[in-house]
Structure 1
Amino acid sequence: MAPPKPNQPKPGASGGSTLKRLKDNLKKAGVIGVKTSKKIAKSTTPARKSSLAQRADEVLKSIRSKNPFEQKVNRTKHDVLGRKLKGSRGQPGLTRQKGLETRKDALLKDIASRHKVGSFVDRRIGENNPNLSAEEKMMLRWTKEKQKSASRKKSHFSIDDDDTHGGSLGGLTHLGQSIDELANFDDFGPSDDEYEGALSKEFVNQALFGGGDANKHKTKADIMKELIAKAKFHKAERQRIKEENEEMRVELDEELDAIRGLLLDKKINPPPSSSAAAAAAAGNDDDAFDQIVRELKFDKRAKPTDRTKTEEEIAAEEKERLERLERQRLRRMNGDSDDDSDDERGGGFRQRRLKRKKEEERAAAAGARDGSDSDGSLGSDDEGGDDEMPLTYRDGVLINKSVFVKSRNRPAASDSEEEEGESEDEGDEEDQEDGSDAEGDDSDEDDDGSDLASDDEEVGQEHEFSASEDEDDQPKSGKLHLTEEERTAMMAQAQAELPYTFLAPASQAEFDLFVRGRSASDIKTLMERFRALYHPSLGEGNKDRQGKVLSFLLCHLFSQDGSAATAHSTFDTLYPVVVDMIKAHTLPAAQWASDTLSALMSAPGGTFRPAQLLMFKLLLRVFSASDFHHAVITPLLVVLAHYLATHPPRSVADATVGLFVVALCLDVQEQSKRWLPEAFNYTTALVAAYSTAPVDANLFPTTTAESLPTASANLGAAPSRLPLDGVTGGKAKRAAAHASLLLTALRTLARFDTLYHAALPSVPELYAPVLDTLRALPEAKMHADLLTQCDAVASSMQEHADRAAKTRSVLQLQKHRPVAIAAKEPEYEAHYSLDRRDNPDHIDKEAEKLKAQYKKEKKGAIRELRRDAEFLAAARVQEQKRKDREYEAKMKRVMGRLGDEVGELNKAERASKRLKKF
Structure 2
Amino acid sequence: MAKTKPTAAAAASGSNNPFEAIWSRRKFDVLGKKRKGEERRIGRARSEAIHKRENTLLKEFEQSAKSSVFQDRRIGERDETLPEFDKVILRQQREHMAKLKRESKYNLSDDEEDEVDVHLPHSLSGKDDFDEEVPLDDYSDEEGHMILSKNRIPLQSGDVPSEIGLPEGTNVHKSKKEVMSEIILKSKFYKAQKAKEREEDEHLVDKLDSDFAMLAQTQAMLSLTRSARMDANKYNSSTVQKDSFGLTAKEIFNKEKPDAYDKLVKEMVMDQRARPSDRTKTPEEIAQEEKERLEKLEKERQKRMLGTAESSDEDDDDDEEGDRSTKLDSSKPISGDDLGDSFSTDEPARKEKGWVDEIYEREGKKIGEDAEGSDNEESDDDGDDDDDDAEDGDDDAEDEDEEEDLSDNDFGNMSARDWEQSDDDEVTVEEDEMEGLKQKEQKISGKVVKKDLQNSKKESNAESQVKDDNLPFVIEAPSNLKDLCSLLDGWSETEIIEIISRIRTCNSIRLAAENRKKMQVFYGVLLQYFAVLATQSPVRFKLIDTLVKPLIEMSGETPYFAAICARQRLIHTRTRLCEDIKVSGKSCWPSLKTLLLLRLWSLIFPCSDFRHVVATPMLLLMCEYLMRCPIQSGRDVAVGSFLCSMVLVATKESKKFCPEAVVFLQSLLVTSLGGNLGSDLRKKINDQFLELKTMEPWLHIHEKVHEVNPANILEVICMDSDAPYFSSDNFKASVLLSVAECLRGFVIIHEELCSFPEIFLPISSLMQEIMDKSDLPGLLQYILHEVIELIKNRSDEVHASRQPLQMRKQKPEPIRQLNPKFEENYIKGLDYDPDRERAQMKKMKKRLKSEKKGAMRELRKDNYFLSAVKEKERIKQEQERAEKYGKAMAFLQEQEHAFKSGQLGKGRKRRR
Normalising TM by the smaller chain, what interval?
0.3 to 0.5
